[in-house]
Structure 1
Amino acid sequence: MSRSASLLRITIAYVIAIAAGLAWLVWGPDTGQLWLDGLIADLVATLVIFAASRMHGNSSFYDAYWSVIPPLLAFYWWVAADAGVNDTRWWLMMAVLLAWAIRLTANWVRTFPGMHHEDWRYAVVRGRAGRFGIVADLMGIHVFPTLQVFAGLVPVYVVATRAGEPLGLLDIVAFVVGVAALALETVADLQMHRFIATRRPGQVMQSGVWSWSRHPNYVGECGIWLAMGLFGLAAWPGAWWVFVGTAAMLAMFLLVSIPLMEQRSLERRPEYRDVVQRVSLFLPRPPKKNDPSLSRT
């Protein structure tokens, strides 16, 4: 299947998924809680994408869900809560969230080669589950990330439903953090794209922001969710629980995504051992100088 045909099928699946979620919100039972209505609609849409993934034998149908759904949920909450259109905090937060969603979705579209490609991590997840592969596909690849992102959106819900709180310094800090995180992700992706286009077999990326962190794109991603948490705290001072989603995101990257990436890089690229010795795993810092005593084995 061609790349354009693959993207068309994925787009159709997303239109159906969003329509299914919207149908639940319009005609489904009213729980009386905006956040719960949003969660149920989110899960309904996720099940549609899961069905499309199984029909096409490719769980990468879900990849764009991470960035497509958050702005839609945010605007649903904002409209349903009848928040004020002049709420500066809301628009500052949405500027960051929308820019993040557009950038991440566009980056996925740009790099998705077609239906023949599936994120290699999905096969690992299903393989480890053995005969329960379909359960791992549903829960680990589709439902769990949906719940993860939903947790990250808790502060967005707070801002959407508590419009009118005074704008303060924390809002400015949140906006700066969000813009900085977005800039880091963008630069990291652009540098990686250029590297991939010219790299030799086995070569490892270790220049630009990738010389300060082995996973700068994940640092930027966590920074986005930290910014959302700061906006939520600004809207509801003392509500420390708005950072639960931020903490969950950090834990997922540090305990699941990064270890998988590290193992794969070490297995496929011998040069990566040198990078591990010199470059920070996560938080950016100046790289260590080469130490002749630390030779590869």
Structure 2
Amino acid sequence: MAAWRRILVTTLTAVWGLRLAWHIWRRNRGKPQDRRYVALLARAPGNPNLYALYSVYLLQGVVMWVVSLPVQVAQYGDGTWVVVPFGVALWLVGYGFEAIGDAQLARFSADSSNRRNVLDSGLWRYTRHPNYFGDACVWWGFFVLACHEWVGLGTVVAPLAMTYLLTRVTGKPLLEKSIRDRRPGYAEYLARTSGFFPRPPRKKA
């Protein structure tokens, strides 16, 4: 087994995870529980704590195992190094979108005058969710790194699942629904800005 590959994949995973953990902790420190979870638990049939156990925590555990398959597979075998530059490049693009997008949003949200405004500058001018797009790219990068062996191709389920969740289930749809109700200019922003893949904004009709 190539020790350098294990060190590389483990380092990239740790850097991604630690930055995200720090960002979430700093963003949510001293604030009430995420309104999406509050709404979810409000609909709980019976005991909300038991409902959260199997519908949030256990489910997230299964999803985490599936999504991390490329990281697991990339730890084994010698394989080819040819995929490494492509995997690392894709990871860097994703990490950059996540980190820069989160920093721009944090700066915007820190200004109380923006409470009902819409962030449409920086990376947010080209995609409504640069952090989600970046997260998807990170996991596609890990998938490429896992493809140093043929068995790694089977882990494509991981980035596909992550991309689907971010764009169709727990990411974009839930977030946009809550923002649309709170920010008057968001409907216009939706009309002109890409929902996921970065591209120049549409021109007004």
Same fold (TM over 0.5): yes
AA at the equivalent of 1:202? R
Q: Which residue of 1 aligns with 2:69?
A: 154
Q: In 2, Cα distance between the equivalents of 1:212 and 1:140?
A: 34
Alignment of 1:71-110 (within 5 A): 83-84=1-2, 87-110=3-26
Q: In 2, Cα distance between the equivalents of 1:92 and 1:141?
A: 31
3-state secondary structure, aligned to 1:204: coil
Alignment of 1:31-42 (within 5 A): none
AA at the equivalent of 1:89? R
AA at the equivalent of 1:230? V
Task: Give the CA deviation at 1:94.
Answer: 2.4
Task: Give the CA deviation at 1:281.
Answer: 0.7
Q: In 1, Cα distance between the equivalents of 2:26 and 2:94?
A: 20
**1:156-200 alpha-carbon deviations (Å, 9 max, x no partner):** 1112232x22311x1110001001111111100110011112243
Q: 2:34 aligns with which of 115, 119, 128?
A: 119
Alignment of 1:269-288 (within 5 A): 269-288=183-202
Q: Which structure would you say has the larger Rg?
A: 1
Q: Which residue of 1 aligns with 2:124?
A: 210
Q: In 1, Cα distance between the equivalents of 2:46 and 2:194?
A: 38
Give 5+ residue unaligned stretches, structure 2. Answer: none
Retained in 2: the 8 A contact 1:88–1:167? no
Q: In 2, Cα distance between the equivalents of 1:262 and 1:253?
A: 12
Q: In 2, Cα distance between the equivalents of 1:123 and 1:97?
A: 30
Q: In 1, Cα distance between the equivalents of 2:17 and 2:151?
A: 28
Q: 2:49 aligns with which of 134, 153, 157?
A: 134
Number of aligned residues? 203
Give TM-score, length-normalised by structure 2. 0.91
Retained in 1: the 8 A contact 2:109–2:115? no
Retained in 1: the 8 A contact 2:116–2:182? yes
Task: Give the CA deviation at 1:246.
Answer: 1.1
Give 5+ residue unaligned stretches, structure 1. Answer: 1-82, 292-297
Higher relative contact order (CA 8 A, sep 6+): 2
Retained in 2: the 8 A contact 1:125–1:140? no
